Structure 1
Amino acid sequence: MSRISRLRSAVFGSRPLSEALGRENGFGLLRLLLALSVIFAHAMPLGVRRGSIGAHWSRGQVELGGLAVAGFFVLSGFLITGSGTRLSPARFLWNRAIRILPGLWACLLVTAFVVAPIVAYREHLLDGFWTHPQGPWQYIVANWSIGTGQPGISGLLMHNADRGFNGSVWSLAYEVVCYLAVVSFAALGILHRARWAVLALVVALYCYMIHQAIDVPGLRAPIYIQTGLPEWRLPFLGPIGMEKLVPLGLLFGLGAVAELYKKKLRMNGIAALLSFALLVGSARYGGFYLIGLPALAYLLIWLACCMPRPLTKVGTKADLSYGVYIYAFPIQQCLALWHVQKHGYAVYTGASVVLALVAAALSWYLVEKPALKLKNIGLPRKGTGGTAGPPQPAREPAAALSV
């Protein structure tokens, strides 16, 4: 089939997701673009000290960073649920841990013992740096288990808009909550024998969101609308706010439903165009919380299916999206401390992107990729007698993005 024929089929044809999505897909590129979008979003408040991109245009409903987080949870829901249907619960948890924790631990060490001392030297606060009650050692102990127990180090970066060294990693805890839901459903057999229960949960979350947003003037509710529900404090994960868990859980759930019902969900270019129109229209005029988020979910999955073949190679051999996510924020904090932003938004953002990609590459080749070699240690695959499972549609993401 020629390129023109494939493009015509993607735009005007209608195929089940199970047929439209092959091993050559756009998940890798989409994840990397979402990670880079967060850098562009953070450059405004951290660097040039202006409002977030898109916040004014959408009248407070959404900004670029929040949109990137939303998209990443959709993709994560699709890919992680697929993993949950193929693997035993034990192997699922091990694979998730080995994908997230080594990179995070390395980032914590670099932040505490490389970045923070440099910042202390720049701020002339080396005296008492190591003995501070919230020093670098305490930073490691408080944050090693994914939850952000201590955002700052030794009182540094007090001048900046966000006092934490890595304000991006808050979403890891919410991602793990979604993982625990997937593994629980898998252990109970729901993913195979009662997938309707996942759909029912997503519908229930959506109904609750309607209840929350219906009284907001013009339906212009922000993504993280106040729910009035109590905050959870979970072991190792720390506080989990319902105002974030409800929409992020819905987005993850939409991706999960797409995976579970991929033989029935149709991929159609006209529907994707309509989703794009609904996404933009609701963001501008109201209703993004209820209309734009589901539209975003469909649009992203469609894009993953019809990505041009050369672009499907992104992320297949080196998945830099997680490294960009965990290193970009401290890099941007340091660039702001050295006043790189005085040269303009483009220079500051460009430097942030280049350095984040370099850090992500080092993280991938020195930490993440070697750690992934441990994935096959000693845990049998479910129902396979220890043999390899079916091919996966794309490399699973390490975690969702955050702002």
Structure 2
Amino acid sequence: MDQHRNSLNALRLLFAGAVIVSHAWLLGNYGPEPALFGINLGRAGVMGFFAISGYLITLSAQHSRSVSEYALARFARIYPALIAASIAVAFVAAPIGAILTGGSYDLGGAFAFLGAALALTIGFLGPPHIGTSLLGNYDADTWNGPLWTLSWEALCYVIIAIVVMAARRRTDAGRASLGAVVLFVAVTSQITVRLQGGVITSIVDVAMPLMAFFLAGSVLAHFRERIPVGLVPIILASAAAWALLASGLGSVLAPLPLSYLVLCAGSLRPFARIGARYDISYGVYIYGWPIQQLLAALHVPATMPPLGYAALTLVAVWPLGFLSCVLVEQPAQRWRRAWTARRNARQPQLIAD
């Protein structure tokens, strides 16, 4: 895949929009959301996100000169925008929500939410309440639901760092490829055990399939030079994914063919210009839910169907995604590149000394 001319940013924006559309059914209290093989649009979008992340983060780890350079790249990518969004929710959206719903705003709860968001513990411990600032909303507890996925994505970052960097220390790149495959098999095996034990109920059981998609993307990154891309492989992968989903084993075995299809779609160039200059997908993803909650506090879902509610959310969240990109994410990336360049420029001198 051409790392400079691909449609991965366009796909991520599509997936972020899919998550917002999916959440409209829940937050608008429209009833059961349509799903295919038990996978709704939002879950499919997050799976796509994790597949792309697994591929790109593995490449980032392979290209990083050190653990610190890799860690800084990951920090600069997710943390500055997360800080801004968490502050906006805790100290702007929640007070507005309390006014709109007639609930109460709790400053201590706001700081607890901010701490949990920045510590990336929401995916493990759940989100703290900010008083009753969502009083009357169908989901009266959660101000930013998608943040739970960042906890698990960060865990995947650590796993990839260990696999790639540990193999590099042993000067054997093949060990990293083997390690990625072993981890993928281990995760999918655990999913099988849990599925056989009964209905999926815990957050771990929901998160493990996402980790499987992340690791599937990582496996594809390790073997990218050997994996063919063409009409026949795409047809075979599509047939395999459909058959596995229909059999009920989609969570266990489908991540690899589905991730392959996602990355094949990402390799197409017609949509390469979307997000090339302004990648707003992350901002859309982390601001979508709070906007939907505010619209729900205004009783918007009672006045329109779910797709109308979702469309209004997408219109409202686009400026926030753009501002996050221009004012937070891009400056953070420029700082990271400048710091890395200065550090790498000093290294030869340090060695010479």
Classify the TM-score, shorter chain: 0.7 to 0.9
User: 2-side partners of 1:124 and 1:211: how far apart?
Assistant: 46
Q: Which residue of 2 aligns with 1:363?
A: 324
Unaligned segments of structure 2, at least 5 residues:
349-353
**Shift in Å, 1:385:** 7.6
1:137 is matched with: 111
Q: 2:89 aligns with which of 111, 136, 152?
A: 111
Number of the residue aligned with 2:72: 94
Gap change, CA 1:152 and 1:266, over 3 Å in 2: same
Q: 1:348–1:82: structure 2 CA closer, same or farther, 3 Å change rule?
A: same
When normalised by structure 1's length, the TM-score is: 0.77
Q: Matches of 2:190 and 2:253 in 1, distance apart?
A: 14
Count of matched residue positions in the alignment of Structure 1 and Structure 2: 338
Which deviates more, 165-174 or 197-206?
197-206
The 5 A counterparts of 1:30-45 are 30-45=11-26
Question: Is 1:155 the equivalent of 2:132?
Answer: yes
Deviations 1:344-386 (A, max 9, x none): 2232111111112111001111111111121135447999986
Secondary structure of the residue aligned to 1:155 is coil
Deviates more, 1:280-289 or 1:150-159: 280-289
The 3 A distance-change label for structure 1 pair 358 and 288 is: same
- Shift of the alpha carbon at 1:204? 2.5
Deviations 1:331-355 (A, max 9, x none): 0111111121222223211111111
| Residue identity in the other structure for 1:267 | V
SS in 1 for 2:229: strand
**Counterpart in the other structure of 1:6:** none
Q: Which of these residues, 141, 144, 157, is aligned with residue 179 of structure 1?
A: 157
1:30-69 correspondence runs (5 A): 30-54=11-35, 57-58=36-37, 61-69=38-46
Aligned-residue identity in percent: 28
Change (3 A) 1:374 1:109: same
Which range is displaced more, 157-166 or 361-370?
157-166
Q: Distance in 1 between matches of 2:3 and 2:162?
A: 27
User: In 1, Cα distance between the equivalents of 2:295 and 2:263?
Assistant: 35
Give distance in 1, aligned partners of 2:6 and 2:337. Answer: 25
State the alpha-carbon separation in 2 of the partners of residues 99 and 172 from structure 1: 12
Equivalent residue, structure 1, for 2:146: 168
Distance 1:66 1:108, change over 3 A: same
Alignment of 1:210-229 (within 5 A): 210-213=192-195, 225=200
Report the CA distance shift for 1:102/1:294 in structure 2 as closer, same or farther (over 3 A): same
Q: Distance in 2 between matches of 1:288 and 1:63?
A: 13
Answer whether contact 2:101 2:136 (CA < 8 A) is retained.
no
1:146 to 120, 138, 142: 120
Match of 1:246 in 2: 208
Structure 1 gap segments, 5+ residues each? 1-19, 228-240, 388-403
Structure number with higher helix proportion: 2
Give how far 1:93 is off: 0.3
Question: Does structure 1 retain, via aligned residues, the 8 Å contact 2:30–2:306?
Answer: no
* Contact 1:27/1:75, CA 8 A, preserved across alignment: yes
Counterpart Cα distance in 1 of 2:62 and 2:335: 21
Between the aligned partners of 2:95 and 2:204, the Cα distance in structure 1 is 36
User: Contact 1:90 / 1:379 at 8 angstroms: preserved in 2?
Assistant: no
Give the structure 1 partner of residue 265 of structure 2. Answer: 303
The Cα shift of 1:250 comes to: 1.7
- When the two chains are superposed, the root-mean-square deviation of aligned CA atoms in Å is 2.6
Matches within 5 A, 1:250-329: 250-284=212-246, 286-305=248-267, 307=268, 309-329=269-289
Tell me what 1:13 maps to.
Answer: none
Contact kept in structure 1, 2:98 and 2:135, CA below 8 Å: no
Tell me the secondary structure at the aligned position of residue 336 of structure 2: coil
Q: More displaced, 176-185 or 156-165?
A: 156-165
Q: Distance in 2 between matches of 1:381 and 1:203?
A: 40
Residues 167, 329 of structure 1: 8 Å contact kept: yes
Partner of 2:311: 350
Name the aligned partner's letter for residue 306 of structure 2.
Y
Offset of residue 183 of structure 1: 1.4
Cα offsets for 1:106-161 (capped at 9, x unmatched): 111111222111111112235xx355x42x23332333222226442122214333
Cα deviation code 1:63-122 (max 9, x no counterpart): 111111111111100000000001021011011111111101111111122211111111
1:184 Cα offset (Å): 1.6
Aligned counterpart for 1:120 among listed residues 79, 98, 106: 98
What CA distance in whole angstroms lies between the structure 2 residues aligned with 1:381 and 1:257? 32
Higher alpha-carbon deviation: 372-381 or 338-347: 372-381
Structure 2 counterpart of 1:119, one-letter code: G
User: How high is the TM-score relative to the length of structure 2?
Assistant: 0.87
